[in-house]
Amino acid sequence: MLEELQRLEPFRAEVRGWLAANLPSDWRRRMLGASEADHVAFQEWWFGKLMAAGYGAPHWPAEWGGSGFSFAQQIVLYEEIARAGAPRLIHYFVALHHVPGTLLHWGTHAQRERHLPAVLSGKEIWCQGFSEPNAGSDLASLRTRAVRDGDHYVVNGQKTWSSNAHHAQFCLLLARTDPAASKSRGISYFILDMKTPGITLRPIKQMTGASHFNEIFLDDVRIPAENLVGPENEGWKVAQSTLSSERGLSILELAERMKQGFALLLADARVPGPDGVPYDDAETRRRLVDIHVRIEALRVLVNNQLGAVLRGEALGVAPSIVKLYYSDLLRDFTRLGASIRGIESQHLEDVLMGGPNETGYWMQDYLYSWAWTISGGSSEIQRNIIAERGLGLPREPAAA
């Protein structure tokens, strides 16, 4: 892995130079407390800049408009973007990762033609319609129904925790097409146009004050049959492609951003809030080192996962170990930030739109960190996976 990355030093310098010249130095100021509309426009502008430079879709094949970068090049690019403190392309996450990961494997040519170029134009934001009020970790128990009616499916149900659905033009939707089949069988996968009649959105206000995710109510929503992705009743398999579509690069970016965030935490630690814990306090220093050491541990775990990808090896439970490690660490990290700022951190501050998970507004960061131990497979689910598939422990018996 080292040699491969060393060969890419000229590429790294090129990316670094481009970021220095093109990343607006005041983007944090502009996006602090920005309106949703301004944030959407800014994300679209930044994505457009990245696309023009060839950095917007590094993992997409060239035939579909991507850069077709090697995995090692992608590693370098993600590292540099994180180290430059560039905005996260949060509006495009589903579109850039889940959409190609799904459609390139399962989609029809028409579906690819229709959607992939549009994603790269920056005009299509996508969201995910997987979780339901009664189907989170136990996703396969989802109850939203899709019933075939001529050349359409008629969908009724409710989705939740759908990030950026209020900005999205399309949704990757899971719905049950065969209620008689056992849980994970009988689910189908659809592309849902968010302008279809019968869709009602309700943004959910989070405890941070922001509203990133939404409930989606579906009442007699008619989806054309050509929007079915993969075979009917095989949606669970299709969803596995969606969920495994990014191979560690996001967590690499997050780990590198966390390292940058730690410098911010140190700076704050030197000038604590009026009742925050003082920097020269031995306990504070011990806690700071604990975070520092765990960030290093996270980085070696991430690098080993990336190394396995580069060598073409099966990843096994490595992604679960890394995700679990990251989310535990993020919570402790941001909690320490809140301790250091003291009562000041309790003031509700503006949200840094598109910021990292360590914006330096520590109480918000801390509150949001709880999302990380729940979303994308809760910590408990990750532990089940590692226990059963990694340590070879027996499965806990299913509920009667």
Partner 1 sequence: MDFELSEDQHALVSALQAILEDHSQIPQSARFDSHWCDTDLQAQLEDMGFLDAAREIGGLEGALVVYETARVIGAVETIGRGLVAPIACPGLELSGPVALARRDGLHLAIRNLPIARMLLIEDGADVLVLDLADGVVEPVETILAYPYGRFAAPPVLDDARRFVGAGEAMRKWWRVGLAAEIAGAASAAIDFTVDYVRTRKAFGRPIGAFQSVQHRLVQRHGYAKAAYYLAMRAAWSGTASDAQVAACHAQSGLKELLFDLHQFNGGMGMTNEHLLHFWIYRARALQAEAGGPTRAALAIAAARWDDGLSEPEERHLSMARS
Q: Which member of 285, 315, 350, 376 binds partner 1 (CB under 8 A)?
A: 285
Shortest approach of partner 1 to residue 174 CB, angstroms? 26
Q: Is 266 in the site for partner 1 (CB under 8 A)?
A: yes
User: Phi/psi of residue 221, each to 5°?
Assistant: -80, 125
Q: Which member of 170, 325, 361, 362 binds partner 1 (CB under 8 A)?
A: 325
Nearer to partner 1, 232 or 290 (CB): 290
Range list of H helices, the chain:
2-6, 9-22, 27-31, 36-53, 71-83, 93, 99-106, 109-120, 235-243, 249-270, 282-310, 318-341, 362-372, 379-385
Cα–Cα dist 183/371, whole Å: 26
* Secondary structure E strands in 119-229: 126-129, 145-149, 152-163, 170-176, 187-193, 199-204, 213-224, 228-229
Q: Is 299 in the site for partner 1 (CB under 8 A)?
A: yes
Active-site residue (options: 79, 246, 253, 358): 246
Contact 296, 256 (CB under 8 A): no
Cα–Cα dist 55/57, whole Å: 6
| Segment interacting with partner 1, rule: CB under 8 A, options 30-38, 124-132, 228-236, 303-311 | 303-311
Q: Which member of 41, 207, 263, 348 binds partner 1 (CB under 8 A)?
A: 263
Nearer to partner 1, 181 or 289 (CB): 289
Position 356: which residue type? P
| Segment interacting with partner 1, rule: CB under 8 A, options 119-127, 181-189, 317-325, 354-362 | 317-325
Shortest approach of partner 1 to residue 276 CB, angstroms? 17
Residues making up the chain, counted from first to last: 400
Please enumerate, as own/partner, the contacts of 105-108 that have beta carbons within 8 Å and a separation of 24 or more. 105/238, 105/241, 106/189, 106/229, 106/230, 106/238, 106/241, 107/229, 108/226
Q: Which member of 24, 68, 85, 307 binds partner 1 (CB under 8 A)?
A: 307
User: Phi/psi of residue 33, each to 5°?
Assistant: 70, 20
Q: Is 20 in the site for partner 1 (CB under 8 A)?
A: no
Position 10: which residue type? P
| Segment interacting with partner 1, rule: CB under 8 A, options 89-97, 205-213, 306-314, 335-343 | 306-314
Q: Is 301 in the site for partner 1 (CB under 8 A)?
A: yes
Q: Which residue, 113, 203, 213, 221, is CA-closest to 163? A: 213
In DSSP terms, which residues pair with 224 in a beta bridge?
152
What tokens were used for 147? Answer: 């019933």
Q: Is 312 in the site for partner 1 (CB under 8 A)?
A: no
Eight-state DSSP code of residue 231: S
Q: Is 84 in the site for partner 1 (CB under 8 A)?
A: no
Q: Is 324 in the site for partner 1 (CB under 8 A)?
A: yes
Cα–Cα dist 181/175, whole Å: 13
Cα–Cα dist 118/108, whole Å: 16
Q: Is 288 in the site for partner 1 (CB under 8 A)?
A: yes
Among this protein's residues, is 113 annotated catalytic? no
Q: Is 1 in the site for partner 1 (CB under 8 A)?
A: yes
Q: Which member of 321, 352, 353, 371 binds partner 1 (CB under 8 A)?
A: 321
Q: Which member of 15, 146, 221, 308 binds partner 1 (CB under 8 A)?
A: 308
| Segment interacting with partner 1, rule: CB under 8 A, options 37-45, 200-208, 240-248, 289-297 | 289-297
Q: Is 271 in the site for partner 1 (CB under 8 A)?
A: no
Residue 259 burial (CB < 10 Å; 0-12/13-18/19+)?
middle
Site residues for partner 1 per CB under 8 A: 1-3, 5-6, 9, 12, 75, 79, 256, 259, 262-263, 266-267, 270, 282, 285-286, 288-290, 292-294, 296-301, 303-304, 306-308, 311, 321, 324-325, 380, 382-384, 386-388, 390-397
Give the residue numbers annotated as catalytic, written as ranges.
246
